[in-house]
Each structure stands twice: as C-alpha cells, then as structure tokens.
Amino acid sequence: MTDLEKQLDALPDCVIEATAEAIGGAMDCLRVWSAWGVGTMSADDFAPVADDGERVAEIARAAITAYLKISADAAPQTTPGVPDGWQRELLDWVSACQSAYHIDSTPGHRFGGLGSNLEENRAELVAYVADLLAAAASQANKETPK
C-alpha cells in the first residue's frame, strides 16, 4: 500500500463531512434498475448516499485521486529556481573535490567522465556527484587522524 493509499484510507472526518454535504440529497438505488420498469420499486429501495459513511469515503477518495492525478499531470516537470549555468558551477566544484581528495579522474575510471551532454542529463550529473561525495567522504575519513 502506497503512502497516498494509506492517507486516502484514513480520510479525516472533515473531508467525509464536506463530501456528504456536497452530495446533498443524492440517493443510491439498492435494486437493479430493471425493477423500476416492472413497477415493483418503492421508497424503501433507495437510501441517501450521505448516510452511508463508507460510500461517502469511497466517493471522496475517488475525487481526491482524480484531482491529484490531474494536478500531477499539469505540474511543470522542471525544477524551479535553478540558476542558469548550475552544471558548470557544479563541475567546477567536482574538479576541486577531485583535486583536494586525490580522486582519480582519468577517462575510464569511475569518476573519469560524465558524458557529453550534461545540459540534458541532470540525472547522470546528480548520480555522479552523489558518488563523488561518497568517495570524498571515504578519503577524508582515511586521512583524518584517529
């Protein structure tokens, strides 16, 4: 069960109440609609939707899930507030770390190259920096007197 499913499974009472209020006097038919044509249905065959807490919660979960999906699809996929040229600044920092901690940066080595198109490959750069940080921390720990 995902975190979202857990949250939707335990909706706050205020969400249930607001959904019930929005549903208003809507009624659920408790029998098949074909019974209507036969003329055997009565008022007892209908129940107010707002009186069934589980049904109201089901409707609220469906509405919230649909809203979150639409919101996620409409959200911009770029990271806001990232300055232009951040890759160059990061690469300069990477170079300084490699020098400071004597990390091998020759081609073919784990830290020997990032690829040719960093502007379009942020994931590669971020993974590279994470690996570099781990290697630098490891080197720093080796050099620290105990």
C-alpha 14/C-alpha 20 separation (Å) is 10
Instruction: State which residues form the domain around 67.
Output: 3-74
pLDDT digits (tens, 9 = 90+) for 96-144: 666 665 655 555 455 555 544 444 455 666 666 666 666 666 655 555 5
Both 7 and 67 in one domain: the answer is yes
CB atoms within 10 A of CB 111: 17
Q: Is residue 81 part of a domain?
A: no
Q: Do 104 and 131 touch, CB atoms closer than 8 A?
A: no
C-alpha 129/C-alpha 135 separation (Å) is 10
AA letter at 26: A
Both 50 and 98 in one domain: the answer is no
Q: Is residue 80 part of a domain?
A: no
According to DSSP, residue 43 is labeled: G
pTM of structure: 0.45
State the pLDDT at residue 2.
75
Structural domains in the chain (count): 2
Q: Is residue 42 part of a domain?
A: yes
Q: Is residue 79 part of a domain?
A: no
Both 9 and 70 in one domain: the answer is yes
Average pLDDT of the residues in 77-83: 53
State the pLDDT at residue 62.
86
Count of CA atoms in the C-beta half-sphere (13 A) of 124: 13
